[in-house]
Every structure is written in structure tokens, then in C-alpha cells.
Amino acid sequence: MTHFLDIHTTAKSDLRAMIDAARRIKEARGDVPKGTPDRDQPLKNRMVALIFEKPSTRTRISFDLGVRQMGGETMVLSGADLQLGHGETVADTARVLSRFVDLIMIRTFEEATLHEMAEHATVPVINGLTNRTHPCQIMADVLTYEEHRGPIAGRKVVWSGDGNNVCASLIHAAGQFGFDFTFTGPQPLDPEREWIDFARCQGVAAETERDPAKAVEGADLVVTDTWVSMHDPQSARERRHNQLRPYQVNEALMARAKPDALFMHCLPAHRDDEVTSAVMDGPQSVVWDEAENRLHAQKAVMRWCLGV
């Protein structure tokens, strides 16, 4: 079964093939109206379950649209509405869903839920975000960087802020795609040591620099994300804001990076918290391409999972 669960557990050659496929899929589509089917219909007669136990705008819309453009159909399911939210086990849900659909995408809280779904499903499962990782987002980010600046291998990518689930998948990508990674943020919000070690084992630099101005020196790409993730308690909001304020991405920080450095944010953004509007809307920002590229990258992921 070809699941897409994480970047660090997917072969480098498969990741590269998916990014290259995503670029071709995007180019082949051109600039036609959004409802126009893709010329080839690789998901014709396929049914895809999209399960959301957390809110979503981009993941929901891009998967739903991507399946439809490829000729398939979707069932968008809320975790609360399924029996899964009322005591049925993940394993039993996986077994039942596998009798009805050809592919499952799940956005959930615990990583264990994703893995249990994959273990018991007899169709491919895609990670649409857990508390720990967000691989589909980072596939879109790699696609976005490369379409603007060419190969990401050998570049320096800096994450400023909370070492959260999106940051984790970016560190995995550093190891798998061969770019150097620097984290800058407060020590209590460091990314997991396991991820840093993974990247280093692949032969890339994975560093921590507490001074954000020093961290972004020589950066080709600066990335940030919300200071309070969906699974973080709201009671932590004030403390996190105080801890993270020095790591805001603003024009002064971007000026310390390379002149042609790009800025990315997976969105939704909290303008003038983790990033200023001047940067979000400025010439180095590629956040709208990044959002759109969820569609193209995930089409490549789904095709890879289904072998079509």
C-alpha cells in the first residue's frame, strides 16, 4: 500500500518524482477556468474520502478541487459527524472506509490516529496534517521555491518562530531534498531533536541560531507560521506571543537575508503577529503561489499513491 504519511518516510526518488510531476501537471493545465477537467482523467471513477478533525480552508479546497479536476469524486467528512468521533475505533473506521473509497486523506490531531488509519486501511492514506507534521504543505513549498528560483538543493532555508508541525516537515524536506536548514526561535519552542538529527544524518546542515538577524544571513528562503497552532491551548497564547515577538518576519529581518530571498507562510497568517503585512504583500512573498501549489502538489501525491 502506497501511503503518503510523511516526507522523512518517503523515498527521496519518489519525492523528487512527485515534485517534477506536480510541475508538469501545473504546466499542462495552463490558465483554464477552475472547473475545467484536466485533459487526462487519472482519477476517473475513483472516490476519495477527505476527513477533517480540525478546521481547514486550503487543504479542504485543494484536495476537493484536485480530485474533481482529475475526474474523481470526493466525500468531505467531518470527524465529529463520523462515528469515529463517537467511540468507533480508528481501525474499524479504516476497514469500513476501505470498502467504499479508493483513497483516504485525513487531517487529525494525534499522529497515532494517522498511523492506525494507514495500518488498517486497504487503500492509500494521505497525511493532511497532524499535530506533529504537515507533509503536503511542504511538498507545495518545495514546488513553489523551485518554480521561482530553480533547484532547492544546496540553498539555505530559515524558519523563524515556533518549531511546529509545518517546521517539522520542512526539516524532513531539508534532509530529503538536500538543502540547509536554520531554526530561529525561543528554546522552549525548538523543533524536535529527532527531526534535526534526521536532517543531519542525510548530510545537510540543520542549525539553531537564537538571534533572528544572524539566522537569516545568507538565507534563500525565510518561512514562518502562526504562533499558536490549532492543537495548542489558547491559554498559552499570551506567553507564546511574548516569546515569539522577537521572531516576527518584518522588512528589517528580510533585509538581512539574500536580496533575492523569498518569503513563505503556509497560511492562515496572523498579520502583524508572525509576519508584517509589508512582507506578506511585498515583492519577496510567494504566499499565494504557495497556496495554489497545494493543488498541483497534492495531485501528484494522489497519483503517486494510486499509481495512476
Annotated catalytic residue within 137, 176, 243, 248 = 137
Work out how close the CB of 259 gets to ligand CP at its nearest, in angstroms, rounded to a whole number: 27
Binding mask 50-69 for ligand CP (x = CB under 6 A): ------xxxx----------
Binding mask 111-130 for ligand CP (x = CB under 6 A): ------------------x-
Q: How far is the CB of 226 from ligand CP (least distance, A)?
A: 10
267 lies in the site for ligand CP, by CB under 6 A: yes
On the question of a cis peptide bond just before residue 268, with omega within 30 degrees of 0, the verdict is yes
CA distance 196 to 224: 17
Euclidean distance between the first and final Cα of the chain, in Å?
Answer: 14
Smallest gap from residue 62 Cβ to ligand CP (A): 8
Over the Cα atoms of the chain, what is R_g? 19
- # residues contacting ligand CP (CB under 6 A): 9
Tell me whether residue 40 is one of the annotated catalytic residues: no
Q: Which is nearer to ligand CP, 204 or 297 (CB)?
A: 297
Let me know: does 253 contact 300? Beta carbons within 8 Å: no
* CB nearer to ligand CP: pick between 213 and 269: 269
Residues 6 or more apart whose CB falls under 8 angstroms from that of 28 comprise 38, 39
Q: Does the footprint of ligand CP cover residue 293 (CB under 6 A)? A: no
Q: Which of 58, 107, 120, 265 is catalytic?
A: 107
Look up cell 479536476; give the residue: 69
The answer to whether 225 is a known catalytic residue is: yes
User: Does residue 87 sit in helix, strand or coil?
Assistant: coil
Q: Is 134 a catalytic residue?
A: yes
Residues 124-183, interacting with ligand CP (CB under 6 A): 129, 137
How far apart CA 95 and CA 130 sit, in angstroms, is 21
Is residue 294 annotated as a catalytic residue, yes or no? yes
CA geometry: angle 249, 252, 165, nearest 5 deg? 15
Nearer to ligand CP, 56 or 108 (CB): 56
- What are the grid coordinates assigned to 126, written together? 494521505
Catalytic entry in 58, 172, 294, 303? 294
What are the distances in angstroms from CA 28 to CA 25, 68, 72, 207, 302?
A: 5, 16, 18, 38, 17
Q: Name residues whose C-beta falls within 8 Å of residue 254's C-beta, 6 or more positions apart in sequence.
A: 216, 222, 261, 263, 279, 282, 284
Shortest gap between Cβ of 167 and ligand CP (angstroms)? 13
- Amino acid identity at 167: C
> Applying CB under 6 A, does 266 fall inside the site for ligand CP?
yes
Query: Does the annotation count 107 as an active-site position?
Result: yes
For residue 6, which phi and psi values (nearest 5 degrees)? Answer: -160, 160
Catalytic annotation on 248?
no
276 binds ligand CP (CB under 6 A): no
Residues lying near ligand CP in the complex (CB under 6 A) are found at: 56-59, 129, 137, 266-268
Active site residues: 107, 134, 137, 225, 266, 294
